[in-house]
Chain A
C-alpha cells in the first residue's frame, strides 16, 4: 500500500517522469496537440475548396490568400466549366453508375456468402475462407496486367462493365469477411428458434436474421461504395473516353495539359471528394465499425 509519505522515497527518475506526465495530461497541451493535428489533416481539404473558387491570378497570389479574395465570377464558374466543357458530367455519371452497381452486386453476394460461412460447415471450409482472406490482401497492381489482357481480349476495354467486374473482385472478399463476422455475432439460437417455430431456412434468413444484420449491411455498403468511388489504378488503365472514365481519372487529366490550370484541378479534386467527405460526416459510426472489424476481428 502506497501512502503519501512513500512518494518522497521515490527517486529522481520518478519525479522527472511525473513532471513529464503532468505536462502531457495538461488539458491545454492536449487540446493544442489535437488542434494542430486536425489542422494538418483538414487544411489540404480546405485549401482545395478555397482554390476551386479562385481565378488563376488568385491562385498565384503572393502572399497566399488563406481566405479566398480574388474570386472567379461567378464563384462556381470553375465547376460549371468542368461540367460543360471538360466532360465532368460524363465522369460523374460513370463514377455513380460504377460505384452503385458494384455496391449492389457486392452487398448481395457478400451477405449471402457471409451468412453461409457463419452458419454451415462443409469440407475444407476453413481453407476456402483463408483463401478469401488472402485474396483480399493481394496487391491490386499485381492483377493489373492479367485483367488488362483479359478485358482486351473480351473487347471490354473502355467499358463500365470492366470496372464493375474489377471492383467486385477488389471488394467482395472484404465484404464476405465482414458479413461473416457480423452474422457470427448474432447467436444461432435465434435461427434455431425460428426454425423450430416452423419458419423455413430461407424465411429464417430473410425475415429474422437479415433485419438483425442491417447495421452490418449498411457498413459494408458504405465501404464498398467509397472504395469503388475512389479507385484510380484500374480506372486509369481500363478507360479512355467519356463512355467509362471515372472522376479520379478525370481529376488526373487536369494535370496532363501542357499548362496546369490549378483552379480547375482544385475544382476537379473537390468534385471527386465531396461524396466521400459527405459519407464520412453522415456515416462515421458505420465506417469506423467497418474499418475496425475488418482489421481486428477474427
Chain B
C-alpha cells in the first residue's frame, strides 16, 4: 500500500508543478467548474445514456402490451386483453413448463459438472496445470451460444452426426437415434447442450470459492481424524455455500432466458417439444408479427424473472452489509 501511496504522491507533485507553470486563462475557469461539480460530471453522461436506453424501451414495451400496433394509424388501445388471453393460451403454459424443466435440468447437470471440475482442478498441485485446465474448460464458455447450438446440432445429426457414428460403429445401436428429431429425446439433448455451455461458469465461481478455504482447516481436521469425505461434507461444502447459491441463482436466470441454443438446434421443434418461453416470444412477436401479444408475454416473463432478481439483490446486499461490518 505504501508504494501505491508514494506513486500517487509523485504523480500529484508532477501535476501541481504543471498546473503552476500554466496558470490563468479560460481553460482554468472551465476546469474549476469541472472540479467543483465533479460528481455531476462523472455521473450525468452515463446515467443519461443508461436511463434513455432502459426507460424508453420499457415504456414502449408497456405501451405496446396494452395496444394492437398499427402500421399507419395510431395504435389501437385494447386494455388488458392481451394479458387476459395469456392465461387461456395453451401454448404459453406449454412453453412455460418447458422453460421450467429446461432450467431445472440444465442447471442441475451444469452444477454437478462444474463442481466436479472445480474440485478436481483444485486438487492439482502445480499452478501451471491448474491454469491450463481452467483455460481448457473455459473455452466452452467462450463459444458464442448460437455456435454451440450449431456444433451440437451437427454432432447430434441422425445421419452424419459423430455421436450416432460412434454408437453405430461400436455396435451399441443399430439404427441411428434421432437426437434432435424425436420430441422427448430432443428435449433431453438441448438440456445437455445447455449444461455444456453453462458448466464452465459454475466451475469458475466454485473454484474461486474453493481457493478461499484456508489449508489449515483441512490440516486440523486431518489431525483430529476426519477422513476426506467428512472433510468434504463439513469443511468444503459449508465454505462454498455462498458461491454455490450465487452460481445456481445466476445460472437459473440465464437458463430461463435461453434462446440461441434452442433456436440453433431445433428452432423449437419437433412438434413444439423444445419451444421454451423465449422462443415462443420470438415466434409470436417476430415470426407472426403479433407485437402486442408478444409484449404482454414479455412483461409476464420479466415479472417472473424479477423473483430471481429480488433473491439476487437481497443476497448481494446482505453480503455488502457483511463486508462493511468486517471492514
CB distance from B9 to the nearest CB of A (A): 6
**Is B154 on the interface with A (CB-CB < 8 A)?**
yes
**A41 pairs with B137, CB closer than 8 A:** yes
Pairwise interchain contact B147-A141, C-beta atoms closer than 8 A: no
Given contacts A112-B42, A168-B49, contact A142 B285 (CB under 8 A): no
**Does residue B38 face the partner (Cβ distance < 8 Å to A)?**
yes
B310 to A, closest residue via Cβ: A134
A194 interfacial contact with B, CB 8 Å: yes
Residues of A near B34 (CB, < 8 A) are 200-202
B228 touches A255 (CB 8 A): no
The reply to whether A176 and B323 contact each other, CB–CB distance below 8 Å, is no
Shortest Cβ distance from A284 into chain B, in angstroms?
Answer: 5
| Contact indicator A44/B151 (Cβ below 8 Å) | yes
Binds A, one of B85-93, B182-190, B297-305: B297-305
Query: Which secondary structure characterizes the binding site on chain A?
Result: helix
Cβ-neighbour of B4 out of A40, A47, A212 (below 8 A) = A212
Q: Which residue of A37, A47, A194, A203 is within 8 Å of B113 (Cβ)?
A: A37
Which of A70-78, A86-94, A114-122 forms part of the interface with chain B? A114-122
Contact call B60/A150, Cβ cutoff below 8 A: yes
Interface residues of B in 45-96 (CB under 8 A from A): 45-47, 49-50, 53-54, 56-58, 60-61, 64, 69
Is B58 a contact of A146 with CB atoms below 8 Å? Answer: yes
* Bound form: Cα–Cα A179–B116 in Å: 31
Contact: A252 with B150, CB < 8 Å?
Answer: yes
Q: Given A112-B42, A193-B8, A194-B8: A142 and B146 within 8 A (CB)?
A: no
Q: Which of B54, B205, B230, B286 contacts A296, CB < 8 Å? A: B205
**Contact B13–A197 (Cβ < 8 Å):** yes
B152 at interface, CB cutoff 8 A: yes
CA separation between A176 and B49, bound complex, in Å? 12
* Beta-carbon nearest neighbor of A189 in chain B: B5
Q: Decide yes or no whether A233 CB sits under 8 A from chain B.
A: yes
B12 at the interface (CB under 8 A from A): yes
Which chain B positions have C-beta within 8 A of A41?
136-137, 139-140, 196, 199-200
Q: Considering only CB atoms, which chain A residue lies closest to B121 in the complex?
A: A34
Which of A169, A279, A292 has a CB less than 8 Å from the CB of B54?
Answer: A169
1/0 per residue, CB under 8 A from A, across B248-263: the answer is 0010010011011001
Task: Report yes or no: B259 in contact with A141, Cβ–Cβ below 8 A.
Answer: yes
Is the beta-carbon distance between A143 and B301 smaller than 8 angstroms? no
Q: Which residues of A contact B (CB under 8 A)?
A: 2, 6-7, 14, 17-18, 20-22, 24-25, 27, 30-31, 33-34, 37-38, 40-42, 44-45, 47-48, 51, 59-60, 62-64, 105, 109-110, 112-113, 115-117, 119-120, 122, 128, 130, 132-135, 137-150, 165, 168-169, 172-173, 176, 187, 189-190, 193-194, 197-205, 207-208, 211-212, 226, 229-230, 232-233, 236-237, 247-249, 251-252, 254-255, 262, 265-266, 268-269, 272-273, 276-277, 279-281, 284, 287-288, 291-292, 295-298
Chain B residues with CB under 8 A of A144: 281-282, 285-286, 298
In chain B, what residue has the closest Cβ to A269? Answer: B147
In the complex, A262 Cα to B309 Cα: how many Å?
40
- List, in ascending order, chain A residues with CB within 8 A of B166's CB: 63-64
Question: Given A18-B228, A41-B200, A128-B47, 14 more contacts at CB 8 Å?
Answer: A2-B223, A21-B229, A48-B147, A64-B165, A64-B169, A141-B277, A148-B291, A168-B53, A193-B9, A193-B12, A202-B35, A232-B260, A233-B282, A251-B144
CB distance B56 to A150 under 8 Å?
yes
**Chain B residues with CB below 8 A from A276, complex form:** 142-144
B50 engages A45 (CB within 8 Å): no
A295 engages B46 (CB within 8 Å): no
CB of B110 to closest CB in A, whole Å: 11
Q: Which 4 A-B pairs have the closest CB atoms?
A: A298-B320, A21-B228, A230-B144, A139-B257
B316 in contact (CB, < 8 A): yes
Residues of B within 8 A of A (CB): 1, 4-5, 8-9, 11-13, 15-16, 19, 31, 34-35, 38-39, 41-43, 45-47, 49-50, 53-54, 56-58, 60-61, 64, 69, 113, 116-117, 120-121, 123-124, 131, 133-148, 150-155, 157, 159-160, 162, 165-166, 168-169, 196, 199-201, 204-205, 208, 223-225, 227-232, 242-243, 246-247, 250, 253, 256-257, 259-260, 263-264, 277-278, 281-282, 285-286, 291, 294-295, 298-299, 301-302, 305-306, 308-309, 312-313, 316-317, 319-321, 323
Contacts of B57 in A (CB 8 A): 143, 146-147, 150, 169
> How far in angstroms is the closest Cβ of chain A from B157?
8
A205 with B309, Cβ < 8 A, contacts A148-B285, A255-B150, A292-B208 known = no
Verify B35–A291 contact, CB threshold 8 A. no
Q: A143-B298, A193-B5, A197-B12 are in contact. Are A148 and B246 (CB under 8 A)?
A: no
From known contacts A207-B15, A298-B323, infer whether A109 and B291 are also in contact, taking CB-CB under 8 Å.
Answer: no
Residues of A within 8 A of B316 (CB): 133, 297-298
- Is there contact, CB below 8 Å, between B142 and A280? yes
**In the complex, what distance in Å separates the CA atom of A168 from the CA atom of B139?**
25
Check B227 against A145 for contact (C-beta < 8 Å). no
* Contact between chains at A137 and B309 (CB < 8 Å): yes
Q: Given A115-B42, A134-B309, A141-B278: A17 and B229 within 8 A (CB)?
A: yes
